[in-house]
Homo-oligomer: A and B are copies of this chain.
Amino acid sequence: MADNKKKVEAITSMDVDFAQWYTDVVKKAELIDYTSVKGCMVIKPAGYAIWELIQKQLDDRFKETGVENVYLPMFIPESLLQKEKDHVEGFAPEVAWVTHGGLNPLQERLCVRPTSETLFCDFYKNDIQSYRDLPKVYNQWCSVVRWEKETRPFLRSREFLWQEGHTAHATAEEAEERTIQMLNVYADFCEEVLAMPVVKGKKTDKEKFAGAESTYTIEALMHDGKALQSGTSHNFGNGFAKAFGIQYTGKDNKLEYVHQTSWGMTTRLIGALIMVHGDDNGLVLPPKVAPCQVMIIPIMQKKEGVLEKAEELRSRLVKVGARVKVDDSDKSPGWKFSEQEMRGIPLRVEIGPKDIEAGKCMVARRDTGEKTEVELDKLEETVTGLLEQIQKEMLERARNHRDEHTYVATNMTELQEILDNKPGFVKAMWCGEQGCEDTIKEKFAATSRCMPFEQEELSKTCVCCGKPATKMVYWGRAY
């Protein structure tokens, strides 16, 4: 049977094998497919529609802060990539190189952008002359390429989609302000739209972006207790400006270097959605990023009037702004239920001949499994109310999970005990020396996720070396 491949099979339980569960969800919710190009994926309609909703809502938030979108080339001449020393060291080992155009070798090889700081600098160098040209607050939506050895759908692939903001400012203060502002936009977006709580903080020098003065991050906790870096915002100071010669004439007629920032979020967020909200029945999507929010499933659909009623309910719900579909395929209702669950559609409406007679329908929540009988003339208010409630409660549940899986360690024995037995974030004090980060990484395969903005004094001494502590750090094993 050609149709066998469509059967909704049980997926691996997340408690049995989380990695396999993740891959199963990605494949069976039809988010992604593998390709002939090693490490590159196809984002299928169900996956891309989530990305479109992320894009739209994030872009609206950007624009409210004055961001303007642009598009820069995907190629970077080798000499341009090399202008900022730390940056090229960080990226050169993992870029793809174009060496031929048509039948001819290029005079200078070009890399496919792994990120576009150097291109924006080259552009700003000419575009910025006077203080009147500042600030520049530009962003682009595009794909970038990093030649990773090991790849996983959404989390790490050789090509991925993202947005990269690149700004230039007159003063250091203004650049720092924008860096933090965009981190806050990211954090609010994750909480309010993705229902995903994050820890905001600063990366240690070891973990910061190649060429940045400081890197800020939002870190989320996945269901298996691993951390996922979900968005970063970098302050470059005037380092790139000096390397590229980006100067402006101030009001006092003096030449000054600009101060720059960059910040990015990627399709990795879809991986985060899966691993924060998913369960053993598949994907669970927060209503705000669910391409379909309500699936209406007719029962005994061949009976007169059932499909008509389903269609009537659909059009009523569309009128109140919900994204709704009717599954009128010739599969069995049970099969349709499984598919709706696998795809993470927040609400299911079941409607059959008896319901119609009784003037009722059944509404089932994907997140809790709860089923309620609803009078047909109250369907609109019930559905809009439930969608709001689901969005809110998904965030609460994710926050509880995060809090319940955040531990404190004051010495290496405790740290190891937690990392080995209780996967999650570990808060611990740190002396500020990279040596201790290296030791912890080597011994426990854990890294410093961030120095959170909300600092606590858990003890006086570094969890690793016992010397006086200067910072509280979130540690964890990460994707």
Chain A interfacial positions (CB closer than 8 Å to B):
2-3, 5-6, 33, 35-37, 40-45, 48-49, 51-52, 68-77, 80, 93-103, 110, 112, 119, 122-123, 126-127, 129-130, 132, 138, 142-143, 145, 147, 158-159, 161, 248-249
Bound-complex Cα distance A98 to B111 (A): 9
Is there contact, CB below 8 Å, between B138 and A45?
A: yes
Bound-complex Cα distance A77 to B158 (A): 14
Residue from the list B37, B68, B248 in contact with A77, Cβ < 8 A: B37
Bound-complex Cα distance A76 to B142 (A): 18
Is there contact, CB below 8 Å, between A69 and B52?
A: yes
Bound-complex Cα distance A165 to B426 (A): 48
Identify the interface centre among A112, A126, A143: most chain B CB within 10 Å of its CB: A112
Residue from the list B35, B73, B96 in contact with A100, Cβ < 8 A: B96
Contacts of A68 in B (CB 8 A): 45, 48-49
Contacts of A37 in B (CB 8 A): 73, 75-77, 110
Is there contact, CB below 8 Å, between B73 and A35?
A: yes
Contacts of A122 in B (CB 8 A): 35-36
Is there contact, CB below 8 Å, between A74 and B145?
A: yes
User: Nearest chain B CB to A306's CB is how many angstroms away?
Assistant: 22
Given contacts A49-B69, A97-B98, A101-B158, 15 further A-B contacts (CB under 8 A): A3-B130, A33-B126, A33-B127, A35-B72, A40-B74, A41-B73, A45-B68, A48-B68, A48-B69, A49-B68, A71-B161, A74-B74, A74-B145, A98-B98, A99-B99
Bound-complex Cα distance A3 to B43 (A): 46
User: Nearest chain B CB to A316's CB is how many angstroms away?
Assistant: 20
Bound-complex Cα distance A2 to B128 (A): 10
User: Nearest chain B CB to A194's CB is how many angstroms away?
Assistant: 19
Contacts of A71 in B (CB 8 A): 42-43, 48, 51, 143, 161
